Chains A and B, each alone.
Chain A
């Protein structure tokens, strides 16, 4: 007995075999796939009747590399998983190691982590919306507006961490460096300006008839399937599940901020799109509070060794709410300087589990929109 939470797969496969069917290989070199990703799509006319995602074009066995290097040496590699959200990947990995070794993090570092993670969420969501609209055919303009805002956040990252994208900022037991003079004020300025961009974006597209026609009712992911298929992040919440790890796990200092978790109604592309807009507004609230409350003090536990870091034998799974969903790291230590087992739980890959269900019965042009609304980064999908 296969209970798949309302699958359309079987219905479609029951239909007449190869009656004028066309097999299309979308990707791997296709601008809409956001990287090297392929979907083998079977079409009847323009309607999708089967879709098989093909992965692995960017596979480099990140986990094996991490098992051959030191705990610290894997930190810069986590930047390269999801190159839009290096700071949240850093945090998830640092959190897993801290659980494994039982380390505490100074308060200021926790605030810096919240601030950088929420800034990451802002720029990721802004770009995701830009990319998705680009996939819809809104060439350039919305994406460039998003990139304009992202640029300000990347400048903040550069002056804080030294790098715009490959930040490599978190360390076990804190953050690598304190914020330079004037950084908090600069961040306040960027965050203060951000709602203007959100209003602008909402005016630009939220009521746009073309966007609504192309996204409403498209790529519906039902609530039960979303949970059963381990969807996470905005994809899960757009399907009506109010599950946010910032609220359930209360990692870091998230319990000190007052924010709401937006939840969608229909689980379609429009809900996923609007949910990100609402989430950014909540992130702005968190950021304003965090930048106000950030205490003085050290940013790293000075007792934690940088070199020859050897946590005692054991295992830990640490996860955080990344912009794309639940990013987790599972580590097994055998007491040596490198992990015995190192596993990344990639939200981008696992959110694609139900891709076929979301696309079946839709037009081929909608596949591009649906994929865009899930928000994947191939560096993380293929690892």
Chain B
């Protein structure tokens, strides 16, 4: 954590307009991460790669994470008039936290043998503000992996040299790794004992007027 904070300070000193935030990892692995604003991602990545003290020259892993919209309840104390008297009561207020897509980068240093440095960048929302600058021009290794994230999560990487679907076919709609993706019921009919699959298959065949 201290090491990450020193990296953060170093980057912020070099790039004063880029604001980084530490994201603590509550788990046992101790792999904390730095959250970067999308606008400064490329500059930060370039700095991490070229800084002679850091030399994070190896982008090992790029992946997406889908965080759905969620509702959180906050307990707030409010003043209410009750039978002519003003009293303080506790009320729960529902707060809607908009979801976002997150791209996670794992950087290592081949030159110094250090790592992983975890970078995260978040999109504005899950629908129309899903663009993030591409790192393919800083790290060639991001090229195929960003295509995969685009394909499966729907994050649009601006500046990517060849942003096409990687695993699904052209013309496929939807992004299968999103948490709210509904899988199609196009099961081939098989007399399987499993109720769920059989029900899905029979629903589909009933729709098409087949046995």
Contacts and interface: CB of A to CB of B under 8 A. Distances in A.
B176 A353 contact: no
B139 interface: yes
Contacts of B104: 330
Interface string B134-156: 00011111111100100010000
In the complex, which range does the number of interface residues on chain A fall in?
A: 35 or more
B166 A229 contact: no
A333 B63 contact: no
B140 A354 contact: yes
Interface string B42-79: 00000000000000011111010100000000000000
B28 A341 contact: no
Contact of B27 (A311, A354, A383): A311
A61 B176 contact: yes
A120 B143 CA distance: 29
A343 B63 contact: yes
A340 to B, nearest CB: 8
Contacts of A243: 58, 110
A332 interface: yes
Contacts of B26: 312-314
Interface residues of B, number: 38
B31 A316 contact: yes
A251 B57 CA distance: 21
B27 A230 contact: no
B29 A99 contact: yes
A308 B117 CA distance: 31
A225 interface: yes
Given A241-B110, A314-B26, A230 B59 contact: yes
A167 interface: no
Interface of B: 25-29, 31, 57-61, 63, 65, 104, 106, 110, 113, 116, 118, 137-145, 148, 152, 161, 165-169, 176-177
The 7 closest A-B pairs by CB, nearest first: A314-B27, A230-B141, A102-B28, A316-B29, A229-B140, A56-B167, A59-B167
Given A230-B58, A311-B27, 4 more contacts: A64-B177, A227-B57, A232-B60, A313-B26
Interface of A: 1-5, 55-56, 59, 61, 63-64, 99-102, 225, 227-232, 241, 243, 248, 311-317, 319, 326, 328, 330, 332-333, 340-341, 343, 345, 349-350, 352-354, 382-383
